[in-house]
Amino acid sequence: MKQRFIILISLLPSVMYHQTVLAQPLNSVYENNSLVSFEKFVYNPDSAFHTSLRPWLTSDLDKTFDYEYEKNRYKISRFIQPETGNLKLKTLNLIFNRSLFVVKRKDYGFTIDPLFDFGYGYDLANERSTWINTRGFIVEGWLGKDFAFSTRFYETQSKVPLWINNYILTRYNMPGQGSVKGYSGDAWDYANASGYISWSPGKFFNFQFGHGKQFWGDGYRSMILSDHSLYHPYFMITTTFWKIKYVNLYSQFSHPDVIDHRTSGDAVFAKKFSTMHYLSFVPWKKLNISLFESIMWAAYDSSYYRGFDFSYLNPVIFYRPVEFNLGSGDNAMIGINARYSPFSRLTLYGQFVFDEFKIKEMTSDAGWVGNKYAWQLGFKSFNPFGLDNLLVQGEVNLVRPYMYSHYLQVQNYSNAREPLAHPSGSNIKEAVAIVKYN
């Protein structure tokens, strides 16, 4: 078993993207360092928010707390003085407080912003310098009150710490960024793009089609679905009514270790599809219980091209009987996520997911290889010691050997050589401690 203890301490200014109209169904920023000021509101015991489905819609956030006010708190007030005609203040206000290019009309609008990430570091143990040079842009907009869109692009060259470099040499992927090519000796060059369109035709439904990522869970890690791997095509239907939020997620993933030679041109990476259901229920405001199921199957095997199996298209169904009646050996998983917020400053959370599981074998303590499961237990403390925007978090994760695997290589729970759940895959015992202050 791998054993790890990770301590992450972050004292960073939070960079928030400027979303012009909150009523539109745009996705919120949900990277870990950007959420400290928002999580304390959605995890409040008086909130019935479905916290484990990320990214969150800004329209949902605005129903829970004054999202516009909290977002504007990141603006630097002394730069908001364009009426003075001071060119320096106008420039600083443009850089730090608003989008670079804004078009806003009664029924439509959009924003365009550049994205940069420049950094330098040094690995003392390995006597190795590190640096990153990222340039990109993001475009967000809306048409009417129910339709929104977003797209972004990054181009990066970087020289990474040795442990990340070893990861790249093993998988030929930059973590979460996709394929790489060599650059200037021992550095790397890579790029990626993502985007989506979002439509909320009424108060019950939201439809999204895009190339992106999702994260399902309340922890730093997710045993169900994380945003660790590369962007992928997806179609997602979210239904919200009463105390329930129900998600149908249809995705296509790639498997670079298996080549599809059926094409007349260059060989392409094998494709696989998944359908996932996630039912989030808030029986009362302090408690959120969610059920999860997924199925993963290869688009092509040695006998025929299967493509997307429409038997898995039914939005309300249990997959295991369907899989059995198809005569297939598809990769099925089920799990549960729970969150309890007993106090305004404390949230407890956990997950349990299993692929194969037999009570008799587990209780016999014989170490049966087929007991494939993973679990997580953790807590978050918001504003402890009266310090606003301070987060203290701790969690323990355990993943059994062979979890997320399958006897058909292309049907394992992965995308582009990277796990879809825990970044290290399986056979893990891990403790995580995080202190974040914005």
Encode the chain in three state secondary structure.
Answer: CEEEEEEEEEECCCCCCCCCCCCCCCECCCCHHHCHHHHHHHCCCCCCCCCCEECCEHHHHHHHCCHHHHHHCCCCHHHCCHHHCCHHHHHHHHHHCCCCEEEECCCEEEEEEEEEEEEEEEECCCCEEEEEEEEEEEEEEEECCCEEEEEEEEEEEEECCHHHHHHHHHHCEECCCEECEEECCCEEEEEEEEEEEEECCCCCEEEEEEEECCEECCCCCCCCECCCCCCEEEEEEEEEECCEEEEEEEEEEEEEEEEECCCCCCCEEEEEEEEEEEEEEEEECCEEEEEEEEEEEECECCCCECCCCHHHCCCCCCHHHHHHHCCCCCEEEEEEEEEEEEECCEEEEEEEEEEECCHHHHHCCCCCCCCEEEEEEEEEEECHHHCCCEEEEEEEEEECCCCCCCCCHHHCCEECCEECCCCCCCCEEEEEEEEEEC
Residue 339 lies in a domain: yes
In a domain, 408, yes or no: yes
Query: Which pLDDT band, with edges at 50, 70 and 90, does 236 fall under?
Result: very high
Residue 125 has pLDDT above 50, yes or no: yes
Contact present, 40 and 382 (Cβ < 8 Å): yes
C-beta of residue 404 within 8 angstroms of C-beta of residue 224: no
Segment 171-177 mean pLDDT: 89
Residue ending a domain, choose from 155, 183, 199 = 199
**Cβ-proximal residues to 235 (8 Å cutoff; 6+ apart), any chain:** 207, 208, 209, 249, 250
Instruction: From 177, 199, 221, give the residue that closes a domain.
Output: 199
- Determine the average pLDDT of the residues in 255-264: 66
Task: Give the distance from CA 107 to its chain's centroid.
Answer: 31
Beta strands 2-11 and 428-437 are parallel
Parent domain of 316: 2-18+206-437
The answer to whether position 72 is within a domain reads no
Looking at residue 70, its pLDDT comes to 85
* Same structural domain, 272 and 354: yes
Residues 256 and 367 in one domain: yes
Task: Compute the average pLDDT of residues 59-66.
Answer: 91
pLDDT exceeds cutoff 80 at 145? yes
Q: Quick one: 211 and 189 in the same domain?
A: no
Shared domain for 411 and 288, answered yes or no, is: yes
262-301 pLDDT, tens digit each = 555 555 778 999 999 999 999 999 999 999 999 999 887 6
Model pLDDT, residue 359: 61
The answer to whether 238 touches 223, Cβ cutoff 8 Å, is no
Average predicted confidence (pLDDT) for the chain: 86
Same domain assignment for residues 268 and 145 = no
Q: Examine the domain organization and report whether 178 and 248 are in the same domain.
A: no
Percent of the chain with pLDDT over 90: 58
**Domain assignment of residue 118, yes or no:** yes
342 and 210 co-located in one domain: yes
Is the model's pLDDT at 83 over the cut of 60? no
pLDDT digits (tens, 9 = 90+) for 8-52: 444 433 344 444 445 689 998 766 566 667 888 999 999 899 999
Distance between CA atoms of 372 and 225, rounded to whole angstroms?
Answer: 16
Q: What is the pLDDT of residues 317-345, one digit of tens each?
A: 776 666 656 656 788 899 999 999 999 89
Sign of torsion, CA 211 217 220 221? Answer: negative
Alpha-carbon span 259 to 262, nearest angstrom: 9
pLDDT more than 70, % of the chain: 83
Q: Please indicate, yes or no, if residue 70 is contained in any of the structural domains.
A: no
pLDDT beyond 90 at 121: yes
**At 413, which amino acid appears?**
Y
Q: Are residues 180 and 213 in the same domain?
A: no
Residue owning tokens 């974040």 = 436
Q: How much is the average pLDDT of 149-173?
A: 93
Tally of domains in the chain? 2
Among 199, 217, 243, identify where a domain stops: 199
Q: Do 17 and 113 touch, CB atoms closer than 8 A? A: yes
31 or 165: whose pLDDT is higher? 165
Could you tell me which residue, 132 or 18, shows the higher pLDDT? 132
Q: Specify if 282 maps to a domain.
A: yes
When pLDDT is cut at 50, 70 and 90, the band that residue 247 belongs to is very high
Q: What is the pLDDT of residues 375-408, one digit of tens each?
A: 999 999 999 988 888 999 999 999 999 999 988 8
Same domain membership, residue 348 and residue 251? yes
Nearest 5°: the CA angle 24, 25, 29 is 105
Tell me the pTM. 0.89
- CA-nearest of 213, 196, 94, 96 to 151 is 196
The pLDDT value given to residue 197: 98
Q: In this predicted structure, what is the pLDDT of residue 57?
A: 93
Does residue 213 sit within a domain? yes
> Would you state the pLDDT for residue 38?
84
Whether 314 and 406 map to the same domain: the answer is yes
Instruction: Check residue 419 and give its pLDDT.
Output: 94
Considering the domain architecture, whether residues 215 and 319 belong to the same structural domain is answered as yes
Distances (CA, A) of 317 to 244, 301, 311: 16, 25, 10
* Distance separating alpha carbons of residues 433 and 5, to the nearest angstrom: 8
Q: Are residues 234 and 318 in the same domain?
A: yes
Is residue 397 one of the residues assigned to a domain? Answer: yes
Apex 416 CA angle, 410 and 417, nearest 5: 75
